[in-house]
Amino acid sequence: MNTSEYRTYDGVGLAELIRKRQLSPQEALRMALETAYKFNPKVNAIITFLEENARGFMNELEKRYGQSQDIPFFGVPFLLKDLLAELQGTAISQGSNSTKNEISKENSEIVNHYLKAGLVIFGKTNLPEFGIMGTTEPKAFGPTRNPWNLNHSTGGSSGGSAAAVALGIVPLAAGGDGGGSLRIPASCCGIFGLKPTRGRTPNGPALGELWDGAAVQHVVSRSVRDSAVALDHSLQVSSPTSLRLERPGLSYSALQGTKGPRLKIAFTTKHPLGMRMDSDAVKAVEETAALLKSLGHQVEEGECGVDGEAIARSYITMVAGQVAAQVEETKKRLGRHATCKMELITRALHLVGRSLSAATYVEEHNRWHFYVQQMHNFFTRYDLALTPTLARRPVKIGELDPKWHEVIGLNTAIFLGAGKPLLAVGLIDQMARQSLEVVPYTQLANLTGIPAMSVPLYWCADKLPMGSHFMAPFGREDRLFQLAFELEEARPWKDKVPGDLSVP
């Protein structure tokens, strides 16, 4: 097998070859590394290579060959997002110069699941500082570029993982989703990304709920079945905040090839904040709706009825509060000087978060339950909701950077410690509108805890992909996976791969 052939396989397919000894884990790793060394200098998806660790994992796998039939990703090369998914003895930067040299003291629980499933971890992927932004352009490591057009962003925060999967360096890679961080880069890079239900995957042993339960961990993948198998093998968790499988014995991967009930699906192409929509975002949803109808589903226009402005405010309030807490914890651990190495947006959010009263934070958090009730009411009428994943095409590198006058204003406010004046002029509302103009659809699933996915069904005229976004009721990943398998069969995206990585 050469690297071109290697890049056509998903993880389940590679593992089957390895079990049959038609391919060795060493050969698979060699091809992953060759592909990475070829493409990574242009896209900057991988920021840390861990070849020695990978060889150690393969040595352990050799001892388990007799059990390989029960190990779904036996010998498959894999990458970790450099946030939350800790690997003992390796650096975990969190995308920041302030924490660039910290070393993980133990494996995260989900990493142990990945290793038990046979995945061979050989590197870590790029992300925005602390996973905050919806574009992967950290000062610490530089931007990750979209494989479909190097002038454009991969989205964020799992942008490095998504780029690596789109290029075929690995068939699947780890990520996390606190406001769309799996689904946004999946859309930008033309791959599959599913956010599980709140509590479905583990965060321990060091952490419980992330971002008050808004953030969860999973993978981005080329094929639907890789995502389903990965979730099947990330469910047995010990945390008291974990969500147990409601129907014991249910396998998401077993849904492949089964025909589920025809669904009633509501779609909308309206921007939740009343802003402009790209024509391609509208076309992506309209074409998906037409495809769904051709498959026998009932599809009609309909909105969730949730106030987009309110969602934006609740979301940015949560982010500011969580960032403030994280920065304060980092200062206690590394010293006050750590903030000097952090990016402007992080320091501004820290300032705003520290200025929030506990009452304001709790008031906004309490609204989450109201959004849950609204979505529950919506799902009494419909089985799924369909929207664009993004309101605009993937943005250009640097497009979301603060303008010069914003830099001056933020630096001045930070220097003066002017948190309350910033709040007084409505900075939270301003930041919410700016940051959510491009990605207004994904945060609702995080605040309500429901599962959601981005499916790659549309490519623009200039070959940039745009995903179609589906949301399902709480705990109904099975409904999403069953539809995703059907869409993948009806309109395959497996053979859509980036070209020569040129800049058009």
For 104-158, give the DSSP string.
Answer: -SS--HHHHHHHHTT-EEEEEE--SGGG-SSS---TTT-PPEETTEEEEE--SSS
Listing from the earlier edge strand, what are the strands of the sheet with 120-125? 46-49, 120-125, 77-81
SS3 482: helix
pLDDT of residue 270: 96
Say whether 399 sits in a helix, a strand or coil.
coil
pTM: 0.96
Q: Are 318 and 446 in contact (CB under 8 A)?
A: no
Residue (of 242, 290, 243, 228) closest to 265 by Cα position = 290
pLDDT at 186: 98
Residue with tokens 């599959």: 192
**What are the residues whose beta carbons fall under 8 Å from the beta carbon of 320, sequence distance 6 or more?**
349, 352, 353, 356, 428
Give the whole-angstrom CA distance, residue 65 versus residue 80. 24
Residue 411 has a pLDDT of 78
| 298-301/264-267 β-pairing | parallel
In the 8-state DSSP scheme, what is residue 194? E
CATH code of the domain made up of 3-263: 3.90.1300.10
Residue 287 CB neighbours (<10 A) = 14
Distance CA 98, CA 350 (A): 14
In degrees, rounded to 5, the angle at the alpha carbon of residue 413 between the alpha carbons of residues 412 and 414 is 90
Residue stretches of the chain with pLDDT short of 50: 241-242, 245, 424, 503-504
* CA gap 138, 354 in Å, rounded: 23
Question: What is the rounded distance in angstroms from the CA atom of residue 74 to the CA atom of residue 97?
Answer: 35
CA distances to 161, 173, 182, 259, 404 from 394, rounded to whole Å, are 16, 20, 14, 33, 23
188/135 Cα distance (integer angstroms): 10
Classified as helix, coil or strand, 213 is helix
Look at residue 248 in the predicted model and tell me its pLDDT. Answer: 56
User: According to the model, what pLDDT value does residue 243 have?
Assistant: 53
* Cα separation, 333 vs 347, whole angstroms: 17
Task: Return the pLDDT at 504.
Answer: 40
Q: Are strands 384-388 and 465-471 parallel, antiparallel or unpaired?
A: antiparallel
What per-residue confidence (pLDDT) applies to 426? 64
Delimit the domains of the chain by residue range: 3-263, 308-381+401-436
Please report the pLDDT score of residue 422 as a whole number.
Answer: 66
Beta strand pairing call for 298-301 and 149-153:
unpaired
Name the token pair of 427. 């900075």
